[in-house]
Structure 1
Amino acid sequence: MEKRFKTKLKVSTRRNRAGNFEDIAKEINQKTVGWINYYGISLMKKFIHDTAQWLNHRLRQFIWKRWKKIKTKYYQLRRLGIHNDEALKVANSRKGYWRISACETLHKAIKTQTLIKWGLKDLNHLYERRYLSY
């Protein structure tokens, strides 16, 4: 059951997927809300926490790949509050998408709260609300 849920999220967040972030966040929200409403009565706090972290990491990777050019990466990092030298260093990095999405600078730029503001629902909050209602 948990493996199927993660596989569905993996398909929704493929790096070569078309569409804007709002549509993708809406699809992810539908899957997560439905899954948590069905399985939310069981005790799976650690799984939900780990899956939320993995999903946020995957979405950062997805966003980083969408930015493509160094100029765009630099501009977006500066827009999200990263200092000049740090933004330039990360934008020019030759590391892969998955590895760079785990770096501290990208975590400072695209926080979990930023993803929530862009339309993603917080898995931990959904689970806590659902679990406490029983």
Structure 2
Amino acid sequence: MKKTIERLTPVLRGWRNYYRLDTRKQFWNEMDERIRHHLRELIWIAWKKPKTREKNLVRLGLDPETAWKSSVNGRGAWWNSGQAHMNLTIKNARFARLGLYSLRFMAIC
């Protein structure tokens, strides 16, 4: 995940600088959410097997029963990456610590 974020951050910075005069806060908030949703999807896909997903969800603080139900729900990666079990365990602060550039905090000159 760290390498993905390292490759993504310069692109996001350049993109935000190119559109720096755009002042639509809601748009940039939605784009930020969408990017994190995609990153959570990549994490879900990387966890490949239900047992691995369950183990990692428990390790990240989810209770074992909910982790098991989430890991074997039969839904796809995109659906799971937007659900509470992923948002509660993989918080936005984790992405910030890894260096993900946030599109919403750009100061307008």
TM-score by length of 1: 0.75
Equivalent residue of 2:27, what SS? Answer: helix
Deviation at 1:123, TM superposition (A): 2.0
Instruction: Give me the identity figure in percent.
Output: 28
For residue 120 of structure 1, the aligned residue among 92, 100, 109 is: 100
The residue aligned with 1:23 is 3
C-alpha distance in 2 between matches for 1:42 and 1:88: 43
How far apart are the structure 1 equivalents of 2:99 and 2:70? Answer: 25
The answer for the alignment partner of 1:111 in structure 2 is 91
Q: Report 1 or 2 for greater relative contact order, CA contacts < 8 Å, sequence distance ≥ 6.
A: 2
Q: 1:62 aligns with which of 24, 29, 42?
A: 42
Matched residue pairs, number? 109
Where in structure 1 are there 5+ consecutive unaligned residues?
A: 1-20
**1 CA distance for matches of 2:13 and 2:65?**
40
The structure 1 segments of at least 4 consecutive aligned residues displaced by more than 4 Å after TM superposition are: none
Counterpart position of 1:39:
19
**Aligned twin of 2:57:** 77
Displacement of 1:117? 1.9
Question: What is aligned with 1:98?
Answer: 78
Task: Give 2:68's aligned residue.
Answer: 88
Q: Matches of 1:80 and 1:116 in 2, distance apart?
A: 17
* Structure 1 Cα separation of the partners of residues 98 and 69 of structure 2: 26
Q: TM-score, normalised to structure 2's length?
A: 0.90
